Chains A and B, each alone.
Chain A
Amino acid sequence: MGEQKREVVLELKGLKKVFGETTVLEDIDITFLKGEFHALVGENGAGKSTIIKTISGVHKPDGGQILLYGKKVKFNTPNDAQRAGISTLFQEIQEIPEMTVAENIFLGREPRRSGSVLINKKQLNQDAERIMEELGLSIDTTQRMCELPVSGRKMVEIARAVSQQASVVIMDEPTANLNAEEINALFRMIDALKEKKITVIYISHRMNEVFSLADRVTVLRDGKKIDTLDSNAYDEKSLISMMIGRELTEMYPKRQGEIGEVVLDVHNFSLDGFFQDISFQVHAGEVVGLAGLDSSGATAVTKALFGLCSKTRGEVFCGGRRLNIKNPLDSIRQKLAYLPEDRKTQGLFLNQNLIFNYTISSLWTRFSKMGVINNREEKERTEEVTKALKVKTKGLYSRPNELSGGNQQKVLLGRWMLDDYKVLILEEPTRGVDVGAKSEIYSQINQLAKKGVAVIIYSTEMMELLGMSDRILVFSTGQLTASLSKEEATQEKIMQYALVR
């Protein structure tokens, strides 16, 4: 494509951004063309989010220029950027839950009754419906936002961006919480945007999305631009090695080690409204993947196993003993470990030091006598784990909110390396984690498996399941529909069973 001269919409020249003493962006030059899909890729902390926050007026640049249609612009707030035609979908959803879908779409620019300050509700709803139709979405615009699932809310956010007559739409990890169907709907919307000659700037950790959609890709590393490539000038391997600055020989390292006897034995496990009569076994040293679309019950199974949902039926045996688990405390006592899907809200203590975060679950068994903590041993062991996991940190007294996503996830995984657990249940172990940290986490999971831990992984990232699991259990509408061995499992097969009704 690059041959014909295409109009440049947005241009960054020598962009620089400094936080405190660290330079997060240095000398960034990127041009964005009219109507192109331009992906920004790089590890966490490479500067992708900072770039879009600078473009959209959240941050002010400390050097360099932003040119919109050749004219230098300066945005003080995201609203300024929006008025100039740059709409941004941030990672965190920004809507107002108590208001309706239509009200959210037109927030701040509601149609008025002629000559008054009153909002023209009828017009508002009609306009909103028209936009939904244009985008091929079937969302009731009079519904309140809080009644929609996360994915629905994200769609509404996109609808809002589109309705703002933007010439540039920026998306930061828009597919993070969406299932396959919703992702497809999103991609259809992106196609529609491209047809309207709207430029899309896109950040994603999901390489397959970048590959199938991007016209051009800009690779960032450590706050510097490495290169901008046309879609025919790269493949997965070369892109990843550019991102991490080294050849990634094996994303999913091979596991060595024997699969032992049955550790976890689940019999007719049921939770009304979520899953029915699930039976499966996990062996020592085995990694079992759970696959399924949203509300298939796969993630409900992991939560129920750990005691986060009450009133399950059926039986679970661990190492031959019948488990009676009512809450996470029981589970941990029975040597079950659990890595929740959202580390920030469900796992970490963001304002407590790393030691607190590491040892919280093993204080009673490993680091205390009669309720008195052995601080020295605690410090030594956590130091070892930090080293083993290669956590990038200033020291044990830093807080998780000073760490990048990948390092936060490592700390959370480290919590379960301080005691001997029999079963490790992982939900989305690498969500929002950069490539380097990903492979580190995978190899640590493998090491735990090698030690004889039975590992269960729930993930929406298909490649991860295929790469990591010895066996994949596929769920659909609360039923276990298939158990595929590593050799049998393919993306198509999993999809096929996930859709069975």
Chain B
Amino acid sequence: MKNKNETRKIFFQENKNEISIAILVVILLIVSPMLSEFFLSSANILNLLRQTAYTAIAAIGMYFVILIGGIDLSIGSTIQIVGMASIIMLNHGYSMGITIVSILLLSVGCGLINGILVTIGKLQPFVVTLVMKEIMAGIVLITTGGASISGQSIPDSFMVIGTGYIGIVPIPVIIMILVFIIAFFVMKKMIYGRLLFVCGSNRRAAYNSGVNVCMIQISAYVLCSLCAAVSGLLIVARTGAFQPSTTGQGATGMEMNAIAAVVIGGATLAGGVGTVTGTMLGALLYGILANLFPLIGVSSYLQQLIQGLIILVAVIISVKDSQSIVQKMKVRLRKL
């Protein structure tokens, strides 16, 4: 009995971050219907879940990269390039299977370039992935000439991924749950997850303990790209057409949403801290807010401002470095 209490105590201590976000989500779910009667309509809830799925899948990828102390600003462009390539391939009559496999390989390639430049080239992840974002966006614009590509004879089986349902649940949501379960298992039970944690915590110590730090780092960037590609496929399979540089498809600016979800979920940008569950809840919280704002009449300009502030607050909360002025102010506040 005492043992059980002890276990429970440890569980709460270890997960207090996730629990507090979960409570926030619940509060939001209770308050939102009071603010807008449309919120609980089934169309809106499905839309909310679908939008959250795109962000959450990308965010789980981003989580791996942030966990090892890196960052990937290129996933918005990855999503774009994935969307474009899949529509072009399907228009040329390639089968759905071949298209999806080659798209995923393409994204692995993007991740490899990011990872290798950061790890072996020893360049700043911030700069590398920002440059990659520009390059990929450039490729998309050159290929399309800036015009949208409409899908001709896109197979229905492809469209099902984006638009279909199993029961009442949209397929993107099911894929999100699958990705979450896999990531959760990997981080909790697999050696690979453990290695991500220690590399993010102290690279040198990880190397000295026999961890192949370079491989782990590169693989995190690959996983991030891969998750972005999955998210991109779901987005493009929704409309069956590709439009470059639109925010409508949620591609541009996706990196910001994903980073926001990860940071709101309790991860620190310094690396080594954060969980998949936190990231998932962060994406959900962020998704609910993004859904709620237009419903209660917050203008999209103001929305952007508020979302920026939310990320800032999350970053401030996650600061642990005692040298930081932010942390010193927090300590002083706590004393009051």
Contacts and interface: CB of A to CB of B under 8 A. Distances in A.
Greatest chain A CB density within 10 A among B191, B204, B207, B320 is at B191
15 contacts: A329-B211, A338-B208, A345-B205, A346-B204, A346-B205, A350-B201, A351-B320, A352-B197, A360-B210, A360-B211, A361-B210, A371-B192, A373-B191, A397-B13, A415-B209
Interface string A291-331: 00000000000000000100000000000000000011101
A157 to B, nearest CB: 19
A69 interface: no
User: What is the interface of chain B mostly: helix, strand, loop, or mixed?
Assistant: helix
A349 B197 CA distance: 9
A375 B190 CA distance: 10
A340 interface: yes
Interface residues of B, number: 24
Contacts of B201: 349-352
Contacts of B281: none
Nearest to A333: B210
B14 interface: yes
A332 B194 contact: no
A271 interface: no
A335 to B, nearest CB: 11
A356 B273 CA distance: 13
B272 interface: yes
A348 interface: yes
Contact of A328 (B13, B14, B208, B320): B208
A371 B186 CA distance: 10
A345 B202 contact: yes
A58 to B, nearest CB: 12
Contacts of B191: 363-364, 368, 371-373
B88 interface: no
B189 A328 contact: no
Contacts of A361: 209-210
Contact of A348 (B10, B202, B207): B202
A350 B202 contact: yes
B236 interface: no
A346 B198 contact: no
Interface string A77-121: 000000000000000000000000000000000000000000000
Interface in B191-220: 191-192, 194, 197-198, 201-202, 204-212
Greatest chain A CB density within 10 A among B205, B210, B212 is at B210
A171 to B, nearest CB: 23
B207 to A, nearest CB: 6
B198 A328 contact: no
B202 A363 contact: no
A395 B9 CA distance: 12
Contacts of B209: 328, 332, 347, 360-361, 415
A363 B194 contact: yes
A312 B22 CA distance: 54
Contact of B197 (A331, A333, A347, A356): A356
Interface in B58-114: none
B330 to A, nearest CB: 15
Contacts of A397: 10, 13-14
Interface string A357-368: 000110110001
Contact of B272 (A331, A347, A352, A415): A352
